[in-house]
Amino acid sequence: MDDASLPRLATLLAALGSGLIGGVFFAFSTFVMQALARLPPAQGLAAMQHINVTVLNPLFLGVFMGTALLGVALGGWTLLRWPASGGAWVVAGCVLYVVGCFGVTVAANVPLNDKLAAVQAGSAEGVALWQAYLQDWTRWNHVRTLASLAAAAALGWAVWRLPAA
């Protein structure tokens, strides 16, 4: 593999990871959370608690965190090497994913998930929390959906703009 192929491949993998994660988040924003909101609060809350446990699996976390790690490495490498064309798109895509997707998840969605995990599904506290959770979690999920999909678009465009081998 020559010097130009590795950054191109890394950019393509980062674009694919961003798009895949953006698609998962898009599904939650457009129909999963709406379906959970239609259930009685105790059932919706319990279902989301189960989702939050089940999502912590090697395949999802590998793509989610792997794309973030790749974004940090690729963004840093691009800043140091700055190719003639496409470099700005690579950096933009990496920042969008690392900050807008991964950062928002860590700063907003995970703390909300932790609060949800701490309540009993049928309790009055749980029902009250569930109503706020639906709005807050979904709002932040919209942000990370848009950031992930914008990252995929920027990185995909960069693949075509990077210098050829």
pLDDT at 162 (0 to 100): 75
Q: What is the pLDDT of residue 84?
A: 67
6-17 as b/e: b if 16+ CB within 10 A: ebbebbeebbeb
pLDDT by position in tens, the chain (length 165):
566 688 899 999 999 999 999 999 999 999 999 999 999 999 999 999 999 999 999 999 999 999 999 999 999 999 998 766 779 999 999 999 999 999 999 999 999 999 999 999 999 999 999 999 999 999 999 999 999 999 999 999 999 887 665
Q: What is the pLDDT of residue 81?
A: 86
User: pLDDT value at position 65?
Assistant: 98
Q: Where are the alpha helices (DSSP H) in 55-123?
A: 58-81, 87-95, 104, 110-117
Q: How many CB atoms lie within 10 A of CB 2?
A: 7
Retrieve residue 54's tokens.
Answer: 């089940």
Residue corresponding to tokens 């950054």: 7
CA distance 65 to 125: 32
